[in-house]
Amino acid sequence: MSKTIVITGASAGIGMVLAKQLAARGDALMLAARSADVLRQVARSCGREAYYYATDVTRRQDVNRLRDEALRTFGNVDVWINNAGRGITRNVLELTDEDLDEMMAVNVKSALYGMQAILPHFKERGEGHLINVSSFLGRIPFASFRSAYSASKSALNSLTANLRMDLRAEYPNIHVSLVMPGAVSTGFAVNSLHAPADSGPVPMAQTPEEVVAAMIELIDHPQAEIYTNPDVQLEQVKRYYGGVGEFEENMRR
């Protein structure tokens, strides 16, 4: 059955591919990002059931308006996907206050605004699916040049887990999911704050299509957390920390 779905960060990368694939299977979409012209093009390419609303997800008022626009257009929202996000290329000792504030605004507060905007509607209906797009770096911080980005995604992981805890008993049909991709071949690296001009392709990166396949499976069969590239991600934990057991072992030291 087709669903009504809100996607932030739908003007590029993972969000854009997700929009096109969900539209192709008949879902009705409300697409959000800052670049209205690009969004309009994406919405057009998605067909008649795709709408867009120019939104800066770092502004709570924008996110509330996005929710209002989606409800006005569709009457209800089945799935809300907090996908918009941004990286940074700076090690811990180089971080400024502004760097950290930007990472928290675009990767954490943005999703918090989304969760707080749509949950009252989900509670009223007794159902709904909230999906937060995080990163494997939020679980295992092995790329130190992404420091504050990883930290912000760790914060997002915690908020997601806590929201799920709060809803579980009273609202069993509201699902809260976390998506943790590894590297994905989008404009993410070049769009990152302080990205060096020569940001090149990352080895072992997934295509956005591969990530989107995992996300569509998640929409159809909700679960708490997914890793989109588990074999490669397991190898990375082994390479940088010796293995999952060894990583967890630090807790006992």
Cβ-based nearer residue to ligand NAP, 4 or 8: 8
Q: What's the CA gap between 173 and 158, in Å, rounded? A: 21
Cβ-based nearer residue to ligand NAP, 38 or 95: 38
Q: What's the CA gap between 68 and 14, in Å, rounded? A: 24
Q: Which stretch binds ligand NAP (CB under 6 A): 9-17, 71-79, 92-100, 168-176?
A: 9-17
Pick from 41, 191, 195, 209: which binds ligand NAP (CB under 6 A)?
191
**Catalytic pick among 149, 171, 227, 240:** 149
State the SS3 of the chain: CCCEEEEECCCCHHHHHHHHHHHHCCCEEEEEECCHHHHHHHHHHHCCCEEEEECCCCCHHHHHHHHHHHHHHHCCCCEEEECCCCCECECHHHCCHHHHHHHHHHHHHHHHHHHHHHHHHHHHHCCEEEEEECCHHHCCCCCCCEHHHHHHHHHHHHHHHHHHHHHHCCCCCEEEEEEECCCECCCHHHHCECCCCCCCCCCCCECHHHHHHHHHHHHHCCCCEEECCHHHHHHHHHHHHCCHHHHHHHHHC
Paired residues of 54 in beta bridges:
33
- Give exposure, 215-226, as e/b (b: 16+ Cβ within 10 Å): beebbeebeebb
The least distance separating ligand NAP from the CB of residue 96, rounded to whole angstroms, comes to 19
Q: Which stretch binds ligand NAP (CB under 6 A): 20-28, 55-63, 95-103, 241-249?
A: 55-63
Determine, following the binding rule CB under 6 A, whether residue 9 of this chain makes contact with ligand NAP: yes
Q: Which stretch binds ligand NAP (CB under 6 A): 19-27, 32-40, 66-74, 241-249?
A: 32-40
Is 149 labeled as catalytic in the residue annotation? yes
The least distance separating ligand NAP from the CB of residue 150, rounded to whole angstroms, comes to 10
Determine, following the binding rule CB under 6 A, whether residue 13 of this chain makes contact with ligand NAP: yes
Pick from 4, 50, 55, 130: which binds ligand NAP (CB under 6 A)?
55
Determine, following the binding rule CB under 6 A, whether residue 160 of this chain makes contact with ligand NAP: no
The least distance separating ligand NAP from the CB of residue 69, rounded to whole angstroms, comes to 14
Cβ-based nearer residue to ligand NAP, 38 or 216: 38
The least distance separating ligand NAP from the CB of residue 138, rounded to whole angstroms, comes to 8
Binding mask 118-157 for ligand NAP (x = CB under 6 A): ---------------x-x----------------------
Question: Site residues (CB under 6 A) for ligand NAP?
Answer: 8-15, 33-35, 38, 55-58, 83-86, 106, 133, 135, 181, 183-184, 186-188, 191
Q: Which residues are catalytic?
A: 149
